[in-house]
Structure 1
Amino acid sequence: MTTTLLYDGSFDGLFTAIFEVFEYRYQDVEIVCREKFYQENIFAEIHETVTQSEKSERVLNKLEQSIGKKGIHQLLKVYLSENTESEKVILSAVRQSIKYPEKNILENYADADIMTISKICKSVDRESHRMTAFVRFEKMQDDLFFSKIDPDFNVLPLIRKHFSDRYQDQKWMIYDLRRNYGILYNLETSDFFYPDEKLEIKNYQEKFHNEEKNYQTLWQRYFTKTNIVERKNIKLHVQHVPKRYWKYLTEKW
């Protein structure tokens, strides 16, 4: 009989569920986020997991001994990818790591689940890099620099350090439109914030600082004037700056 472990969708919750797979010796098992669960198999046993950081840390500490901190970071990226196979391949990686503790199983690309992890990590890395390259801040009336993003993956936790290190002399906010949360930097710390309702940004341009409007106009004029029509290569341009990122670029408006 299949056992379905339901968890709260958090990283700690996922590894609490993995701990309980071993604790209760489940064999035929699947781990599913509670919010996404739809019971197709009426004969499946349901196990409700309550997130416990102690259990999660025990699994992560054990894993670190074989795959290192870099390996843990790879599993975090798989989790943040929100891929439908994330829970499955992460559980598979943990099981293999427990079975072969002397090996870094994440280097065994002959295994289908490990190869899936590798592919997911590459995709998430690519998206993270593009977010650091294409994010544009806009100065608001309260002198806060605001940026809205809509990435394919949940990369905010991965790009937080980049912006915290690079922009230490100004207050800024990055808000994920799709996932309704963001990062706020107040000149001292950068913290995640989770509004109860989605931020209303339909007419947020009305809150632009006057300087911002002028800068945008100047930049658009500069881009137009320096653009050499005869040398335009749209195919090459799209390869380096895919169209789905154009919405972040002032010169494309």
Structure 2
Amino acid sequence: MASSRLPLRRPQHVPGPTEPRLPRPAAPALTNAPLDYTYDGSFEGLLTVLFAIYDRRAAPNSIQPTDAVQGGLFAQAVEVETHEATAARVWDGLLRHMDEEARTRLFHTFLSEQPDRELLIFRYADLAMRSARDIADNYADDNVRRVARIAQQMYREKHRMEAFVRFEKTADGLFHATIEPDFDVLPLIAPHFTKRYADQRWLIFDKRRRYGLYYDLHRTDVVQFDAGASPQRTTDISATVLDEREPLFKVLWQAYFDHVNIPERRNIKLHRRHMPLRYWKYLSEKQPREQRFEPIKNKRPIQPGNALLE
């Protein structure tokens, strides 16, 4: 997959429960004047910036993607070129100051697209490197609380996307789905769909961020789309592109949804809590019905004298 979307995955040794961890090296003192840093917007680029901060011993005033930089009147931003080897070194080195779960939270924070995510990640990492013990449960610190809260939000959004994705089959056998999550969760749901749908080709497109995941029966890759090159919603796909049985699949899915529903136990407020309205436009069961719902009439009333009543 593209390195700009996924964390670095490198073989690494994780100490066992009885094996001592490597000693925590002291973080360099940031004694020089603060600087503004820019990078290419990738996660590897941000890790390279973290290395540059300690190499220059200059704390960041700001860390911004190059295409969104807002420079000051006199300050000249330092542009940091991405180096994958350096990024991998930083990514592995973080395990000397935090456990793997805490490190994963930093990647989730990056995917959250918060306006100040870069500075938040730096502050969390810097605090971890300057502490004598694990900071993951130090909720007295605002940065730790924010990272933990963002991680919870990302987990909920990931879980919902894994549950609410609805595929449509095209004439060439490709299963296509469109989503519009609040956060950039495609890198997080890729393992789930790769494992669950390993026997079919599929494409999940993030309409808001204009990129997607494509699985070709062998590997899952990140694919980019030009403006206007993708459907606005799944229901906008031309009928000539869809498999001829797709309308039947949709009717069957809606019929299944209607028949497992229990009208007497309907709770709209609870339903919207678990399935927010913003997801409905991409759910087959929430589209206008092409056939009127008719209850299944396959039950015969029990007659008096039936053995079941005795």
Instruction: State TM-score, norm by structure 1.
Output: 0.93
Q: Distance in 1 between matches of 2:252 and 2:195?
A: 28
What residue in structure 1 maps to residue 21 of structure 2? none
Matches of 1:48 and 1:225 in 2, distance apart? 59
The one-letter amino acid paired with 2:79 is E
Which residue of structure 1 aligns with residue 139 of structure 2? Answer: 109
Equivalences for residues 65-84 of structure 1 within 5 A: 65-84=96-115
Unaligned segments of structure 2, at least 5 residues: 1-32, 288-310
- 1:210 is the counterpart of 2:244: yes
Asked whether the equivalents of residues 180 and 198 of structure 1 are also in contact (C-alpha less than 8 Å), the reply is no
| Counterpart position of 2:186 | 156
Which of 3, 10, 14 is 2:42 aligned to?
10
Q: 2:214 aligns to what? A: 184
Q: CA deviation at 1:108?
A: 1.4
Q: Which residue of 2 aligns with 1:233?
A: 267
Find 1:27's aligned residue among 59, 65, 69. Answer: 59
| Corresponding residue for residue 50 of structure 1 | 81
Higher mean displacement: 214-223 or 171-180: 214-223
Identity of aligned residues (%): 38
Q: Distance in 2 between matches of 1:88 and 1:63?
A: 16
Q: Would the alpha carbon gap of residues 14 and 28 (structure 1) be closer, same or farther in structure 2, given more than 3 Å must change?
A: closer
Q: Give the CA deviation at 1:44.
A: 2.7
Give the Cα separation in 2 of the matches to 1:2 and 1:25.
9
Is 1:93 paired with 2:124? yes
Aligned to 1:144: 174
Given that residues 53 and 60 in structure 2 are in contact (C-alpha distance below 8 angstroms), is that contact kept between their aligned partners in structure 1?
no
Give the deviation of 1:226 after TM superposition. Answer: 4.9
Which residue of the partner structure matches residue 194 of structure 1? Answer: 224
Q: In the TM superposition, what is the alpha-carbon distance from 1:199 to its structure 2 partner?
A: 2.8
Residue 22 of structure 1: CA displacement?
Answer: 0.7
Matched pairs, number: 251
> 1:36: how far off?
1.7
Deviations 1:61-95, CA, capped at 9 Å, x for gaps: 22112212222211110000011121111000121
Give me the whole-angstrom Cα distance separating, in 1, the residues matched to 2:73 and 2:178: 42
Could you say which residue in structure 1 is the equivalent of 2:255?
Answer: 221
- Alpha-carbon deviation of 1:232? 2.1
CA distance in 2, matches of 1:198, 1:37: 26
CA distance in 2: counterparts of 1:74 and 1:241, whole angstroms: 25
Corresponding letter in the other structure for 2:45: G
How far apart in 2 are the matches of 1:226 and 1:190?
A: 34
Q: Per-residue deviation at 1:24? A: 0.7
- TM-score, normalised to structure 2's length? 0.76
Q: CA deviation at 1:55?
A: 2.1
Could you tell me how far apart the structure 2 residues matched to 1:90 and 1:222 are?
45
Structure 1 unaligned runs (5+)? none
Q: Give 1:172 deviation, angstroms.
A: 0.8
**More helix per residue:** 1
Q: 1:231: how far off?
A: 3.1
Deviating above 6 A after TM superposition, structure 1's stretches of 4 or more consecutive aligned residues are none
CA contact (8 A) 1:2 1:45 kept: no
| Equivalent residue number for residue 166 of structure 1 | 196
AA at the equivalent of 1:6? T
1:233: how far off? 1.5
Residue 194 of structure 1 deviates from its aligned partner by: 1.7
Give the secondary structure class of the aligned counterpart of 1:29: strand
